[in-house]
């Protein structure tokens, strides 16, 4: 699982960015405040073993959210929302999983294939 220190770092970065955005700080200052969290996130991702799939998925999803905050054409408010999503992901809230397709037993999957028209005419 994701370390509590990383979650705490994200919460601190989120609080700092929220405080600065509320005072009208420039975007670059908000991005600089969030950069420490992003660096800690990258470090933990590099340290996480590949077998810990759940932690790696959460860290990668949070990293993608953080990358969105680095855009030059983002407002401080939108940046704050993206950063908040990243922290929420690390706190244990997972994005909606992809749908899983399964074969339903019964029905046509258990019936033999239909005869072709040629076989039908021959009485097969």
Average pLDDT, the chain: 83
Contact between 59 and 45 (Cβ < 8 Å): yes
Q: What pLDDT sits at residue 95?
A: 45
| Helix %, strand %, coil % of the chain (to 5) | 65, 0, 35
Q: How many helices (H) and strands (E) does the chain have?
A: 5, 0
Q: Which residue has the higher pLDDT, 19 or 73?
A: 19
Question: Per-residue pLDDT averaged across 77-89, rounded?
Answer: 90
Q: What pLDDT sits at residue 76?
A: 87
117: number of CA atoms within 13 Å, CB side? 0
Contact between 65 and 37 (Cβ < 8 Å): no
* Residue 61 token pair: 């999803």
The pTM for the full model equals: 0.68
Tell me which residue of 100, 98, 29 sits closest to 61, measured CA to CA.
98
Contact between 27 and 79 (Cβ < 8 Å): yes
The 10s digit of each residue's pLDDT in 24-45 is 999 899 999 999 999 999 999 9
Alpha carbon distance 78, 98 (integer Å): 26
User: So where are the chain's domains?
Assistant: 4-90
């Amino acid at each position: 699982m994701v370390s509590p220190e990383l979650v705490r770092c994200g919460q601190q970065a989120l609080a700092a960015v929220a405080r600065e955005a509320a005072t009208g700080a420039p975007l670059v200052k908000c991005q600089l405040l969030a950069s420490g969290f992003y660096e800690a996130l990258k470090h933990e991702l590099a340290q996480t073993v590949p077998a810990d799939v759940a932690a790696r998925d959460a860290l990668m999803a949070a990293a993608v959210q953080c990358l969105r905050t680095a855009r030059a054409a983002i407002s401080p408010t939108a940046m704050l929302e993206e950063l908040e999503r990243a922290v929420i992901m690390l706190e244990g809230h997972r994005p909606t999983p992809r749908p899983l397709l399964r074969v339903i037993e019964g029905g046509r999957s258990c019936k033999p294939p239909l005869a072709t028209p040629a076989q039908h005419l021959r009485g097969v």
